[in-house]
Amino acid sequence: MPEENNEHSWQPHLSLDVPLMDSDHQKMVSLLGEVYAACKRHQWDDAVKDAMFDLSLFTVQHFNREEDLMRQVDYPGLRFHEKAHQKLIKILDAISIRIAQDHAAAIDDQTLDYLFKWLIKHVKRSDHQLAKFIHAKSTDS
């Protein structure tokens, strides 16, 4: 399993100065950390399944909140951003199905690293663009 170091935890530089988004992103990193921890303890059955369920559920809720926010501010990148969200939901669903079918082999280091990197890259690029738009719009009005 990946080491539990700063590389896999929330970093202040990931903050976007949009409290709703920042608190959700911190929570997502922490839930992903719980998946890491459950795998590390070799709790292949319920603990990993439960941690993945919590991560998937919260991710869907966060994406819905973020997409509502985009609609509220008439964000022009909504469609593109939504597609990125849908992609991660599909990946999380596929992982959950694999855990249900073949738990011990379902999650490996590469899968967890991929999820973490996806999340960080998405926050730094797509969510950062949205935050910039929100800040610009709030200084306009």
List interacting residues with Fe ion (CB under 5 A). Answer: 66, 127
Taking the CA atoms of residue 130, residue 132, residue 73 and residue 122 in that order, the dihedral angle to the nearest 10 degrees is 10
Q: How far apart are the first and last CA of the chain?
A: 48
Nearer to Fe ion, 66 or 106 (CB): 66
Q: What's the min distance (Å) between Cβ of 24 and Fe ion?
A: 6
Q: Which residue minimizes CB distance to Fe ion?
A: 127
Q: What's the min distance (Å) between Cβ of 81 and Fe ion?
A: 6
Nearer to Fe ion, 53 or 118 (CB): 118
Q: What's the min distance (Å) between Cβ of 42 and Fe ion?
A: 31
Q: What's the min distance (Å) between Cβ of 102 and Fe ion?
A: 30
CA distance 90 to 79: 17
Nearer to Fe ion, 49 or 85 (CB): 85
Q: What's the min distance (Å) between Cβ of 18 and Fe ion?
A: 9
Nearer to Fe ion, 39 or 127 (CB): 127
Cα 107 to Cα 50, 76, 98, distances in angstroms: 13, 36, 8
| CA atoms lying within 13 Å on the CB side of residue 89 | 14
Nearer to Fe ion, 56 or 106 (CB): 56
CA distance 48 to 38: 5
